[in-house]
Structure 1
């Protein structure tokens, strides 16, 4: 009995001496750093070797403690426009959701991983698929989109918080 109480007391003291939050450390959602309005530009590359400058605006609405994200991204160049909307959930490092692109009437699913300031995802649909990478550091965000089987072969963006 004495040994059991001593063990419990030692465990209690050991747990109280841990820095606060250590036992319950949960990675923060990367969506939190994205919240707000962003603008900037980049380059769109096509399969015939052409490159066009893009101008873009993005809005990220983050709900809860960062588990839900609603994205609206609009970009335009002299020859191309796209208007992307997405709703994504974050759960323990995994992301999943849906996307739609209004000007081409395309839609599909989105899945991938998020950690720290970086997101890697795959967008899949009936008429479009792409891999994307997004990194947010402070007031700067870089986005890389690699479509498959389309005239557009790459989109590279740099956005700044407005």
Structure 2
């Protein structure tokens, strides 16, 4: 058998190839192919992660909760507990924020879209049956918007950093202000 490989190699001008060296070559190619596949998937995953993080609403998706205070037009303030849920899909976000104390409650819902640093959308406060538009600026989890409706206006600042979020609202109605700190 060895003589046949040597004579065949002499005729072809190539080195003789044994089964062991063919198997070794096969496994080397398989390792390179596996490495290339792993590198491809890691690159694709990293690209998709950086795309997701580039969204204006990156890091906001999910459920958040925490304490806050609300100030009413008579100057009184109350402690409140809040829960927010954000559904993020690329440049769009839906939000539900519910806050309550023993005597006060509000349910704020919003649907917004971000493009080029501008944020716009709609909002409603379901317990008082009022709603309107949202306009403002923001990116990377930090937003300054104005919510308006007939006879109502409020400025809202929202800042997200990691698993913490701060919301500050100022309004020109019975509800004067709210400061809320949420955690994920």
**TM superposition score category, shorter chain reference:** 0.7 to 0.9
Which one has more relative contact order, counting CA pairs under 8 Å at least 6 apart?
A: 1
The structure whose residues are more often helix, as a share, is 2
* 3-state SS of 1:33 partner: coil
Structure 1 gap segments, 5+ residues each: 1-20, 22-26
Q: TM-score, normalised by structure 2?
A: 0.69
CA distance in 2, matches of 1:116, 1:131: 19
Q: Which residues of structure 2 form unaligned runs of 5+?
A: 1-46, 48-52
Q: CA deviation at 1:117?
A: 3.2
Kindly tell me the number of residue pairs found equivalent between the two proteins: 134
> For each residue in 1:107-162, what CA deviation from the matched residue of structure 2 results, as whole angstroms up to 9, or x when unmatched?
000010003331000000014210000000000000000001x122110000000x
Aligned partner of 2:174 in structure 1 is 151
The separation in 2 between residues aligned to 1:37 and 1:115, in whole angstroms, is 20
CA contact (8 A) 1:106 1:127 kept: no
TM-score (norm 1): 0.78
Which structure has the greater CA radius of gyration? 2
Q: Output the aligned Cα RMSD.
A: 1.7
SS of the residue 1:31 aligns to: coil
Do 2:57 and 2:140's aligned partners in 1 also have CA atoms closer than 8 Å?
A: no
